[in-house]
């Protein structure tokens, strides 16, 4: 076992993720270009641990499908009580067994059926925002409530508890929260979900938690703790990611008026869906969380990686690799950006991607059409970007119309 993951080795290494440049906050951190061009892999400090940052598209996609590379990363295992298994941090076949229990609710068909309700929600949140008057914070009024309500509905969690989830999630996603704060936040959400599972067993409904409890708890294929921890992951993942894409996507379009006008004025769903794919690639908001560990000595991008070494997938660098798309720095909503790694790659590729795409394909055009005079309510330099959080975005987006 290599000793290179020890904390001491991390001292003096560049921190991962690197902060994005305040003058160019929508682009990946500027040093990533050099990392990608000069080294296959770069030694970095990831939360106090030495790790290899993998930055080329070819290396990221190869590493994420290599069976010698594991998602069972010791520093990212969250203890939620005995017997609680987090499937995103597990390898196949156990990962696949647990993931299969959840996939029914995330299929193209299921998401298609949810679209009219998502569109209704988007319009309702705009009605409320307009009724309160311009200006408003798009994050609080629109970008967060849509995915929050959608994931609550899908899981069968009362939406009235959303303020509690958002508070807990923001602690968990903060790169500056202490381990004690995180543990407390996890504990309160975990306890809440265990209670909710008990309630669903007594009073079943058609939503995910109740269905999985009915189909798998009673058969003994799943423990209550594992269901609670995976419900916790879905709530967490369902909230912040899509919300940040809606807000950051809106800001990007305000800075690219031609792209904005095209999305607003088209009646072709293919134009919107290509634009969403390009925004996902361009912004790559999950820029720091995707870690792996080598199970044996292997070579990646010409670099020897020892068994036990920690790897971080530098998704934003990979999505801006000229080896993947030409002219990567340009936002080009007409390009074919499919194959990007904003949702990851391989067996752990995002379970919620169909849903996230639908939310974005609805939320962005609805907003632009309902508020044709949409503009920033503050000078761009006053916008606070989320360099301090694991998922990138804006803390608030003051808008006027
Ligand atoms: C996995 C990004 C929305 C649930 C991932 C991964 C990425 C990602 C990069 C791969 C992690 C890895 O390989 O270690 C995003 C982005 C989203 C989004 C950019 C929005 C724009 C959602 C939503 C949900 C969700 C809405 C659920 C409701 C999950 C789950 C996994 C995952 C459960 C783990 C899958 C597995 O390990 O098998 N996501 N996600 N995500 N995502 Fe998402």
Nearest CA to ligand 1 atom 14: 290
Whole-number Cα distances in Å, 247 to 74, 134, 187, 253: 33, 17, 29, 10
Task: Say if ligand 1 is within 6 A of residue 352 CB.
Answer: yes
User: Considering the chain, what percentage of its residues have pLDDT values greater than 90?
Assistant: 77
- Kindly state whether residue 399 falls inside one of the protein's structural domains: no
**Residue 1 scores a pLDDT above 70:** no
Return d(Cα 133, Cα 152) in angstroms, integer.
27
Report whether residue 342 contacts ligand 1, using a CB cutoff of 6 Å.
yes
Nearest CA to ligand 1 atom 38: 348
Q: How far apart, in whole angstroms, are the C-alpha atoms of residue 355 and residue 371?
A: 24
Q: How far apart are CA 393 and CA 89, in angstroms?
A: 24
Cα 104 from chain centroid (whole Å): 20
Query: Which protein residue has the closest C-alpha to ligand 1 atom 4?
Result: 352
Within-domain flag for 360: yes
**Lowest mean pLDDT, pick from 191-205, 330-344, 351-365:** 191-205
| Residue 68, domain member (yes or no) | yes
Instruction: Tell me the pairing of strands 291-294 and 41-46.
Output: unpaired
Per-residue pLDDT band at 93 (split at 50, 70, 90): very high
User: 249 CB less than 6 Å from ligand 1?
Assistant: no
Residue 400 lies in a domain: no
- Ligand 1, atom nearest to 244 Cα: 21
The residue among 80 and 358 whose pLDDT is bigger is 358
Mean model confidence pLDDT for the chain: 92
349 CA closest ligand 1 atom index: 10
Q: How far apart are CA 110 and CA 129, in angstroms?
A: 29
CB of 345 sitting under 6 A from ligand 1? no
- Residue 4 confidence class, pLDDT cut points 50, 70, 90: very low
Domain that holds residue 202: 6-394
Whether residue 147 is predicted with pLDDT greater than 70 in this model: the reply is yes
Q: Would you state the pLDDT for residue 8?
A: 59
**What pLDDT, on a 0 to 100 scale, did the predictor assign at position 220?**
81
**Residue 304, in any domain of the structure:** yes
Flag whether pLDDT at 7 surpasses 60.
no
Question: Is residue 238 assigned to a domain?
Answer: yes
> Cα of 352 to ligand 1 centre, how many Å?
6
Task: Give the H/E segment covering residue 294.
Answer: strand 291-294
| Residue 168: inside a domain | yes
Span from the CA of 137 to the centroid of ligand 1 (angstroms): 25
**Cis peptide, bond prior to residue 277, ω within 30 of zero:** no
**CA 93 – ligand 1 centroid, Å:** 19
Q: Measuring from atom 43 of ligand 1, which residue has the nearest CA?
A: 350
Residue nearest to atom 33 of ligand 1 (CA): 351
Distance between CA atoms of residues 36 and 222, nearest Å: 42
Specify whether the backbone of 12 is left (phi greater than 0), alpha (psi in -120 to 50) or beta. left
Q: What is the pTM of this model?
A: 0.94
Atom of ligand 1 nearest to the CA of 356: 26
Q: Is 394 helix (H, G, I), strand (E, B) or coil?
A: strand
Q: How many domains does the chain have?
A: 1
Measured by CA distance, the residue closest to atom 41 of ligand 1 is 352
Q: Are the CB atoms for 42 and 313 separated by under 8 Å?
A: no
Q: Is residue 17 in contact with ligand 1, taking CB distance under 6 Å? A: no
Distance 3 CA to ligand 1 centre (A): 30
Whether the CB of 286 sits within 6 Å of ligand 1: yes
Mean pLDDT of the region 166-194: 84
375's tokens: 């503009």
pLDDT at 5: 45
Cα of 331 from ligand 1 centre, angstroms: 23
- Decide if pLDDT at 18 tops 70: yes
* Average pLDDT value for residue range 130-149: 95
Residue 237 near residue 154, CB atoms below 8 Å: no
Over range 48-69, report the average pLDDT. 96
How far is it, in rounded angstroms, from Cα 116 to Cα 362? Answer: 9
- The two tokens of residue 107 are 């299929």
Q: Distance from the CA of 157 to the center of ligand 1, in angstroms? A: 19
Q: Whose CA is nearest to atom 36 of ligand 1?
A: 348
- 239 versus 400: the higher-pLDDT residue is 400
Q: What is the mean pLDDT of residues 90-104?
A: 95
**Ligand 1: distance of its center to the CA of 351 in Å?**
6
CATH of the domain at 55: 1.10.630.10
In a domain, 1, yes or no: no
Is the pLDDT confidence value at 343 over 60?
A: yes
Q: How far apart are CA 399 and CA 138, in angstroms?
A: 6
Ligand 1 in reach of 234 Cβ (< 6 A): yes
Residue nearest to atom 28 of ligand 1 (CA): 238
Question: Best of 69, 241, 273 to mutate for ligand 1, by most ligand atoms within 8 A of CB?
Answer: 241
Residue closest by Cα to atom 26 of ligand 1: 238
């Amino acid at each position: 076992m290599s000793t290179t993951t020890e904390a001491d080795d991390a001292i003096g290494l560049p921190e991962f993720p690197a902060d994005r440049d305040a003058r160019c906050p929508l682009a990946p951190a500027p040093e990533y270009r050099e990392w990608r061009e000069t080294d296959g892999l770069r030694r970095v400090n990831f939360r106090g641990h030495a790790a290899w940052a993998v930055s080329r598209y070819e290396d990221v996609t190869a590493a994420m499908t290599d069976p010698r590379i594991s998602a069972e990363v010791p520093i990212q295992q969250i203890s939620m009580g005995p017997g609680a298994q987090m499937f995103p941090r597990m390898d196949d076949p156990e990962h696949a067994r647990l993931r299969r229990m959840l996939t029914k609710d995330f299929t193209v068909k299921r998401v298609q059926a949810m679209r009219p309700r998502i569109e209704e929600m988007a319009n309702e949140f705009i009605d409320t925002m307009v009724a309160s008057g311009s200006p408003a914070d798009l994050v609080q009024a629109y970008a967060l409530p849509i995915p929050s309500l959608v994931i609550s509905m899908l899981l069968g969690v009362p939406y009235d508890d959303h303020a509690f989830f958002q508070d807990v999630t923001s602690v968990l996603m903060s790169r500056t929260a202490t381990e004690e704060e995180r543990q407390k936040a996890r504990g309160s959400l975990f306890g809440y979900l265990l209670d909710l599972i008990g309630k669903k067993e007594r009073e079943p409904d058609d939503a995910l938690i109740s269905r999985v409890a009915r189909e798998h708890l009673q058969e003994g294929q799943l423990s209550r703790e594992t269901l609670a921890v995976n419900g916790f992951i879905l709530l967490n993942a369902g909230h912040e990611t899509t919300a940040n894409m809606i807000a950051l996507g809106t800001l990007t379009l305000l800075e690219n008026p031609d792209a904005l006008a095209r999305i607003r004025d088209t009646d072709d769903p293919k134009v919107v869906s290509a634009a969403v794919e390009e925004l996902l690639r361009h912004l790559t908001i999950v820029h720091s969380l995707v870690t792996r560990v080598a199970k044996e000595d292997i070579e990646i991008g010409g670099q020897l990686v020892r068994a036990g070494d920690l790897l971080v997938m530098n998704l934003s660098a990979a999505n801006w690799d000229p080896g993947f798309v030409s002219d990567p720095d340009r936002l080009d909503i007409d390009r074919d950006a499919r194959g990007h790694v904003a949702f990851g790659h391989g067996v752990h590729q995002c379970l919620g991607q169909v849903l996230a795409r639908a939310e974005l394909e609805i939320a962005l055009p609805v907003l632009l059409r309902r508020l044709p005079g949409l503009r920033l309510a503050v000078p761009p330099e006053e916008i606070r970007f989320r360099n301090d959080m694991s998922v990138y975005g804006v803390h608030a987006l003051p808008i006027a119309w």
